[in-house]
Chain A
């Protein structure tokens, strides 16, 4: 009972901290990946995976392929835990990842075209939480 009283506010505080501070998440990206995002060499696709924008060096293509393999494995695990399909989970992740892109980064619009994120909201598919 006492443990519960302490644990509940603690969990609430941790959740609040996680929501309020998305910045540390950005800090943990590989510097090469972060740079490729900033320069618009790679972009977030609607299917939840990274895409190579235009023709880019092999190093960028390999990096994207490697990250996408890791994402796929992650989606498979999380989807199973949620009782969803891999595709459903990946598409949901795509919605949130596109909505979290920052100005200057590339993302895929619902029509499949690459867009550069501006100051406003990105073009999200109608199925995504708006």
Chain B
């Protein structure tokens, strides 16, 4: 069957600004962009610093090491204790 075609066809009602391959790339970029935005994780800083707990643990070891010297210190310098 022969398809008859007008020599000067009318313009389409809506002409996309970007067409074909470029349109597909643009579309996928938009999807990727929104996925990145939606995937953001907000991390709130804790109110109390965690470092303090660590310091206490370190100090406890040191305290046990120093305890004997501290006891003799009291015997050697009773006037200031």
The CA of A97 and the CA of B71, in the complex, are separated in Å by 9
Contact A78 B79 (CB under 8 A): no
The CA of A30 and the CA of B81, in the complex, are separated in Å by 10
Contact B70 A89 (CB under 8 A): yes
Total interface residues on B, using CB and 8 Å?
A: 21
Contact of B62 among A18, A70, A88 (CB under 8 A): A88
Cβ of A55 to closest chain B Cβ, rounded Å: 24
Annotate B60-81 by CB proximity to A: 1 below 8 A, 0 otherwise. 1011111101111111011111
Contact B63 A95 (CB under 8 A): yes
Asked if A109 is at the interface (CB within 8 A of a chain B CB), the reply is: no
Looking at B56, B62, B69, B70, which has the most chain A CB atoms within 10 Å of its CB? B70
Asked if A127 is at the interface (CB within 8 A of a chain B CB), the reply is: yes
Please report whether the interface of chain B is mostly helix, strand, loop or mixed according to DSSP: helix
Cβ of B5 to closest chain A Cβ, rounded Å: 91
24 example contacts (A-B, Cβ-Cβ < 8 A) are as follows A18-B72, A22-B74, A22-B75, A25-B74, A25-B78, A26-B78, A27-B78, A28-B78, A29-B79, A30-B79, A71-B81, A74-B73, A78-B70, A82-B66, A82-B69, A84-B62, A88-B63, A89-B66, A92-B70, A93-B70, A96-B67, A96-B74, A127-B56, A128-B63
Binding site for B on A (CB under 8 A): 18, 22, 24-30, 67, 70-71, 74, 78, 81-82, 84, 88-89, 91-93, 95-97, 100, 126-129
| 8 nearest A-B pairs in the assembled complex, by CB-CB distance | A25-B78, A92-B66, A28-B78, A127-B60, A70-B80, A92-B63, A88-B62, A92-B70
